[in-house]
Amino acid sequence: MPGALRSGKPTGISLCMIVRNEAERLGGFLRHHRPLVQEVVVVDTGSRDATRQIAAAHGARLFEFPWCDDFSAARNASLRAARFSWVLVLDADEQVPVEEFSRVRALLAMPRFTAAYFRIVNVDPDGTPLGMHVAVRMFRNTPGVRFRGAIHEEVGVRGEALATSLRIVHTGYRADPQAMRPKLERDRRLLLKSLAAEPANPAYRYYLARTCYLLGDWQEGLRQASQARAALAAEPAPGSLALLTAHLEAVLLWRQGELAQAEECCRRLLHLRDDYLDAHFLLAKVCLQRRRLREARRALERYLALLPRFSTDAAALYPFGMLTTLSRGAEALNELAGLAHRSGDTRRALGCLAEAAQLDAAYAPTYLNWGLALLAQGREEEAAPKFKEALARAPDLHAARHYGELLERRLPGGRSAARKLPPLPSAPSTEEERAVEAACLATHVSEAGMLRTNLQRSLP
C-alpha cells in the first residue's frame, strides 16, 4: 500500500458503520462495498437477529456497544477501531454506486482536503428519488475527529472539506409516515432529550419541527420551526439551516391553510435566494390554492427552468443543504398543463404533458390529464390509450370511468349493447377496492364488452 500519513495509519479506507437488527440487508451491503475499502468496522448496538453472525462471516471487524440513546457515542466507538487513513461512514440501508468507486478512491490522493461531502439521495422502495441532502461522509482518520450530537449527529473535521458530486443512495427511506412512525417517535424522544440539555440549539429545534411535521403534529411543528427561525435570525448571512427552517415553516403554514402567511414566507425566502427550487415549487402550490394563476404559472416556470441545473451541477445543491422537490418535475408540468388548458391553450397543455411523460414515465396523472386534454379536442381514439396507460400505472376511478365510456361507445349498438350484458355479483365494498379492480380489468381483460360490464359494476 502506498505511503502513510503522519498519524502512522496506512493509506486506505475504513468503512465504519453502526447496526442493529440488519440481518436482512447487511450481507448484500458488505458484498457490494468490500471491493471499495480495506476494512469494514461494524459496531452492533444490540441486535437480536443474525446481524453479528453475518458481519463476521463477511470478514468485518465486529464490536459490540450497548445502546445509550446516543448515535455519536456509537459512531465514535467505530472511529476508535478504524485502522486506515480515511474513514467512510455508511448505514446498512445506504449504498455507494459501483460507478463511483474509482472517484471515492481518488480522494485518498488529494492532500489539500481533510473531508468530503457526498450527496445522499433518498429513494422509495421502487427506486423513485424523493429528495437529496449533503453531508460529510468521508474524512481523514486523524486524532480528535469525532461525531457530535446524540441524534442527527455530525462529524467535526478540521481543515477544508471538498464538495463532491459523489452519491450515496439511501434506500431505507419511506414516504409513508405510518411505515416510519416507530423511527419518528424515537427521533422525537431523543430530540426532546437533546433540547432539554441544549435549549438554545436551533438545529435540534429544526429537526424536532421536521419530525413533528412527519408525524402529523403540524401545530407543534410550526411552533418549533418558528422558534428555530427566530434563533437563526441573528445570523449575518443565512446558511442552509436558516433556509431549511424558513421553508419548513412555510410548508407547515400551507398545510394548516394559512395561505397568505405561507406565501409571504416563500417570497421572503426567494428574496434571499431566487434559485431556491423548493420555495418556487411551494409558492406555486400556494398560489394555485389562492386562485392566483398568473403567479402560480410564473413560479412553476421558474421551478422548471432551475430543475436541470440541480440535476447536472453538483455544487448547486450545497447552499441549501437539502432539496425535496427534485423528482417533482412531472407534477409541475401537469400543473402547468392544467393552467394552459384553462386558458384555452390546448396545444401548450399537450406539449407540457408530453414533456412530463418523457421526464417521468411512471407518473400516472400525466396520462389521465393527457387523455382528458385529447377528449376536450374530440380525439377519442388517441385519448383511450392514455387512460389505459394511467390505469396501468396506478388505480384511478376517473381514468377507469373515462376509459370504460370510450370502450362502451366502440361496442356494436353502443350503450344499449353494454346494458344487455349481465352484471357480475359481489361488488367491491370500498372506493380503493373498486379502483384496484377497475385498473386490473383495464390492463388484463381483452374483451371490451366484459370490461365495460365490470366497470359499470365497479364504479359509483
* Domains defined for the chain, CATH in brackets: 13-170 (3.90.550.10), 177-326 (1.25.40.10), 357-458 (no CATH)
10-residue block means of pLDDT along the chain (460 residues)?
A: 55 98 97 98 98 97 97 98 97 97 95 93 81 94 94 92 94 71 95 96 96 96 96 81 96 97 97 96 98 97 96 86 94 97 93 96 93 90 89 76 73 42 39 48 41 43
Q: Where are the beta strands (DSSP E) in 193-241?
A: none
Q: Which amino acid is at 307?
A: L
Question: How much is the pTM?
Answer: 0.85
Instruction: Give the model's pLDDT for residue 113.
Output: 93
CA–CA distance, 247 with 229 (Å, rounded to integer): 10
Instruction: Give the model's pLDDT for residue 418.
Output: 36
Residue with cell 436558516: 242
> Which among 307, 376, 372 is positioned nearest to 334, based on CA atoms?
372
> Which among 131, 123, 121 is positioned nearest to 251, based on CA atoms?
131
Compute the radius of gyration of the chain from its Cα atoms: 26
> Which among 69, 60, 66 is positioned nearest to 41, based on CA atoms?
60
CA–CA distance, 64 with 72 (Å, rounded to integer): 15
Instruction: Give the model's pLDDT for residue 4.
Output: 39
165, three cell numbers: 458530486
Instruction: Give the model's pLDDT for residue 421.
Output: 33
